[in-house]
Amino acid sequence: MENIAVGTYFPDAISFKHALRSIAIKENFRVRIKASDKTRVIATCAYQGCKWRIRASLCEDDQSFEVRRLEGDHTCPGTNRAGNRLATSTWVANEIQDIVKRNPDIHPKEINNNLEKEYGLSLPYMKLWRSREHARENIFGCIDDNYKWVSTLQAELISRNPGSHITYTYDVRDNSFQRFYVSFKVCSDGFKYGCRPLISLDACHLKSKHLGMLLSVISLDGNNGLFPIGFVVVENESKQTWLWFLHNFGETIGTEVEPLAFISDMEKGLGEAIREVYPGAEHRICIRHLWKNIKKKFHCKDGHKLQGLVWEVANGYTCTEYNTKLFELSVLNQTIHAYLISLPYKWSRS
Ligand SMILES: [Zn+2]
């Protein structure tokens, strides 16, 4: 925070008022703007009888303001918690602009820690959250406006990553954004030349203002490291969106890749989409996702003997191993055994 003294310059009236507010919050008094026009800003302490008074005037450049007068010491007792009222989300947004720029996902709690250290403020969570949104908007522009840049983004990404497959769709009725597909050439080449023909598909929810889903295709490289090949932003997870994704993915790496295996959760439309685009490929269910479903459905606990056994059934390399473990499972828990063998998906190694 800047110190305010006679002779201090501010780029404009707004930044002078921001600094006034900061000093009022820090020194625990309420500031009252007495006059504010094109040529001057005059403020006093809001406490009746307190003589503190400041005046800044427009400089010759017709833009910046200089503090010309600063009179009187505070004789006010200090307004209790005045800071919380003075610290509007506009003020907070301005104050935290730099830290939000460095870390746009900074947690509201961390913002609070910063403000507490600097100003002794403790603000409600929602105010901090709104201020962070506000600061992001100041720095990166309004989310809604950014959708105007989709076609520019696509062109720019392709020009900087030649050979990449990047495309999007929009609603022809009102030109609104629908979906965006990205697969960089380095990633699709990396998959073709350096990965096992195993592809995992998964989805997660997006948490920005307009929500939607992120679907991704990921492979495993020679070191068993995750190797992303492509991703899309779509409106929701459905057979339609998976189909669109896989059709594009097919254009990226070809649909004739053989052998090829997919692994995913049991999302219904996804299995159908895979069969439609890659009829010759294997599709199996990820045991981690499957166990999560079982846990929820049958109220099982983690680390249970049951979990170990389910994983052993799934991981067995031979049919004998599979059958032995499956039998053990049927003895331990008939319901889950029945559920597993009734599934229309393959979820085991053997
Ligand atoms: Zn005062």
pLDDT tens digit sequence for 264-301: 998 888 999 999 999 989 999 998 888 888 888 888 77
The pLDDT of residue 24 is 87
CA nearest 112: which of 81, 136, 90, 87? Answer: 87
For 168-210, what is the HEC assignment? EEEECCCCEEEEEEEECHHHHHHHHHHEEEEEEEEEEECCCCC
Mean pLDDT computed over 198-209: 90
The pLDDT of residue 1 is 55
Q: Which residue has the tokens 């919050």?
A: 25
The pLDDT of residue 80 is 57
Average pLDDT, the chain: 90
Ligand 1 centre distance from Cα of residue 94 (Å)? 24
Q: 79 Cβ partners below 8 Å, 6+ apart?
A: 28, 29, 30, 46, 47
Round to whole Å and give the CA distance between 248 and 129: 37
Q: Indicate the pLDDT class of residue 332, thresholds 50, 70 and 90.
A: confident
Q: Is 186:161 a contact under the CB 8 Å cutoff?
A: yes
Please indicate whether residue 349 or residue 243 has the higher confidence score (pLDDT).
243
Q: Is residue 149 pLDDT above 80, yes or no? A: yes
pLDDT tens digit sequence for 111-136: 999 988 888 888 899 999 999 999 99
Round to whole Å and give the CA distance between 244 and 252: 13
The pLDDT of residue 173 is 92
Ligand 1 centre distance from Cα of residue 7 (Å)? 21
Ligand 1 centre distance from Cα of residue 220 (Å)? 66
Ligand 1 centre distance from Cα of residue 77 (Å)? 7
Q: Which DSSP symbol is given to 346?
A: B
Ligand 1 centre distance from Cα of residue 6 (Å)? 18
Ligand 1 centre distance from Cα of residue 33 (Å)? 13
Sign, CA dihedral 107-111-116-120, equals negative
Q: Which spans in the chain are helix H?
A: 13-27, 82-86, 89-95, 97-102, 108-119, 125-140, 143-146, 150-160, 185-194, 239-253, 268-277, 287-298, 305-315, 319-332, 334-342
Mean pLDDT computed over 207-232: 91
Full strand arrangement of the beta sheet holding 213-221: 165-171, 176-183, 226-234, 213-221, 195-205, 261-264, 282-285
Q: Is residue 40 pLDDT above 90, yes or no? A: yes
The pLDDT of residue 29 is 85
Mean pLDDT computed over 328-338: 87
